[in-house]
Every structure is written in C-alpha cells, then in structure tokens.
Structure 1
Amino acid sequence: MDHEVSSSALGAVGATGLSPLDLFLHASIVVKLVMLGLLLCSVGVWAIIAEKIILIRRVNREATEFEDRFWSGGSLDDLYESDGARPTHPMAAVFGAAMGEWRRSARIGGIDLSRGGVRERVDRAIDITIMRENDRLTRRLIFLATIGPVAPFVGLFGTVWGIMHSFASIAQMHNTNLSVVAPGISEALFATAIGLVTAIPAYIAYNGLSNSFEKFTDRMEAFGTEFAAILSRQSEERADDTTGGKA
C-alpha cells in the first residue's frame, strides 16, 4: 500500500515537471515576481560585467599607446594639441589637465613651478581629473555591489513564500502526500537557486573589476606624478637659463 502511494505521488510530481520553465509556470504569483525580478537583475549584472571588461581593456590599451607617444621625445605642446586639449581617454585627460594648468600659469606670470601656488594648482588639477575619471569608469559598479549580497535574500524570500504556499495546500487538501508538497517546495528552492546564480557572478565580478580599476587609478596617479616632476624640471631649467642670460 505504501509503495502504491509513493508511486502515485512520484508520478504526479513527474507530471508537474521539474524543468526550469515548468517550475516557473506552476509557481505562485509572488514567487513568479521574485523569479522575474532576479532574472532581470541577472541580465543587468552580465551586461555591466561585459561593458566593464571591454572598458578596462580599452582604457589600458589607450593608456599604453598614449604613454608610448609621451615618452617618444616629441613636443609636449604638439601632444597637448593632438591629445590633451580634447582628451578621449583617461590618461590623456590627466595629461591635458596638468598641461593646461601649466600653460595658463605661464600666460599669467611666467613658468615657475618652483612657486608653491603653481605646483599646488597643477597637482590639484591632476587629482581632480583622476577622481573624475575614476568615478566615470566605475559607474554602475555599485549595482554589482548591491546585487551580490541582496539577491540571495530575495531568492530566500521566494523560497519562504513557496514553502508557506505548500503548507497552505496541505491544510486545504488534508493530504501530506509528496504530490502535494513537492511542487511548491521545488518552486521555492528554484527561487533560491536563481538568487544564487544572480549573486555569485555579481560578487565575483565586483571584486575583480574593482581591483582592475584600482590598478588603473594607480597607473594614472603614477603618470600624473611623473608628469608634474617633468614640468617642475623644465621650469627650473628655464629659470636657470633666464638667470644665466641676465648675468
């Protein structure tokens, strides 16, 4: 007798189906909304991951090409006119901000970066530009940081609701057979699975991308420091030449 009950219960579960589509279609409206919300978040997560991976590769490649031109020994004024005046990537923006401030200071009172005020303005222009470019590069990463810890709890909410729905079915039908309990529990667990599938890539990608962007920020800061030192040396050399000429 017990064997017959178990067989009929398993047959009913098989008829309901345990494929993802069947689990979604037979879920309650609340669990369906949870699943749909998590699926939409998952699509957003993967879109941001793809965008940021392409972005970090592009800006690193453009930075390398720019640094090659910068260290090639060409004129800084020519490089400013071609890249710095209207920058199209972060490294050129850092160069353009420093060079632009340096040129403005030269027009106002002569090139003398040994004066603290000019040096501070150049350093501040570099720092502000790096901060602005970093904010632009890391935009929407906060979405990954939010989805990572939140999605499992949203899926858990769907799980709790599905289990509550299963117990309600038991109470209404006065039947504890597997055919009554299994579908609701399966749908509930499926909501948790979707939450984990959404959260895990978001969490891993956020940490990996954040590390990549931090390294690129360090690269911009190193370039800015080197360029400020170059401008300082050039100003000192011109000041020495001017002093020697007067003598």
Structure 2
Amino acid sequence: MSVSSGRKTIRILRAELDKLMTLPWIWTAVTVTFLVHLLLTAAFTSASLQEGAAAPGILNTGLASMSYLQAGFIILGILAACSEYTGGQIRTTLTVIPWRGRQLFMKHLALTLITIPAAFILTASGVLYAGWRLDGHAAGVEPHEVIQALLGATGYLTLTTLLSAAIGALLRRTLPALVILLGYYFIISPWSRGLLPAYFPDTAGRYMYLLPSSGELNVLTPVQGAGILMIWSVSLVAVAIVVYRIRDA
C-alpha cells in the first residue's frame, strides 16, 4: 500500500531537516554571525557608555547591530537553497523525492524551524548583554516592550532568511544571489531609504522591532511592517516553487 500523504510530507520534512542540520556551512554561518553580533553589541554598548548619553535605551543598544546581523541570515538562506546545486546533489534529491513543490516547501519550512531559535537566541543575547552593561545607566524598559522587540527582531530575521532562500532557489547559484541581496540590503537600500517608499522588505521589516521616532513620517506599525515583509517573503517562496516545478534540475 502507498504511504499516506501526511506521512510522506513528514518524511520529506525530516529529510530536509537532516540535510540542513548536517550541512557544515549552516553552522559556520550561524556561529560566525553570533560572534560578530556579540562583538558589535559590545562595541555599541561601550560607545553609549563613553559618550555619556543620557539614559541610553537597552533595546536600541542591544538591537543596534541588526542591520549587520541580517547579513548572516541572508547568507544562511542562500546557502540552504544553493548548497545542493554546487555538487549536483539536487539530482539525487529529485530522484528520491520527485514531488518538487512539496520538497521545496518543506525545505523552507525546515529552514524556518532552524532559523527561529537561532534568531531569538542571537537577538536576546544582544539585549541581555546591553542590559547587563548598562545596568544603572539605561532608561527603564517594560517587559512587554522587550518581548515585543525580541519577537519582532526574530520574525524579521526569519522572514529575511526565507526571502533570501527563495532568491537563492530562483538563481540556483550562491555568488549571484549574494551579490544581489547584499548589494540591495547594504548599498541600494541605505542610499535610497529617503527616496523609496516604506513598502520594501527591509524598510518595512525594521518597524517590527524598532519604535519609530515621534517626528517620523509614514510610520508603519509593527503589525503592518510584519505583514508587508511576510507578503514579500511568501510571494517569493511561491514564485520559487512554481519555477522549481517547471524547469529542469
């Protein structure tokens, strides 16, 4: 008798999780990102103390490295999507799992299950470190604000990882995907932030974890920012699945 659809889906998810968990570059990317994040957080915290800023914010200081931290998760998503194409392993995968759409969807789901705890641990470590160093020097922060910021930062990094994986799946090559995404996030977007609307993925996503300033125009709420970034990520994943199903390996 044939295996039920549900059990088949679970087996595919387990296979994708096993592949990602045993991929050395995945853990290298996470480890390097964690170390760089702690170094940057320490630098930003020390700068806040040395400048003698009046009551620096724990959340602003602890999450100050987010613009750099996202690079590690962009690389994580691209590596997860493109690693099988490097040595031609994708042919073996498609021979064993011929259901292309389901296989790629499960790959993104497996990547989500890995990214969420990694993103939460990294962002929480930055906030905890800033809270420890700024103890007695920082403005008070409510517990619900900390939870909201951490959940928003975790969601932003997770959705950014999925978006990057979708681009990687479309391009199937690591270097072009890195050039396009890192070029956008670190060159095009910062340079044109005042010109482009707030509906681009990184611009909208930053409102998931940052409290907007009182004088800022066209401010999005955390929910609106999350919704816009989710639309970008889900749409690109859907496009990647459609293209993946109709083209050759």
Same fold by TM-score greater than 0.5: no
TM range (shorter): 0.3 to 0.5
Could you state the TM-score of these two structures normalised by the residue count of structure 2? Answer: 0.35
TM-score normalised by structure 1 residue count: 0.35
* Structure number with larger C-alpha Rg: 1
Please state which structure has a larger fraction of its residues in helix.
Answer: 1
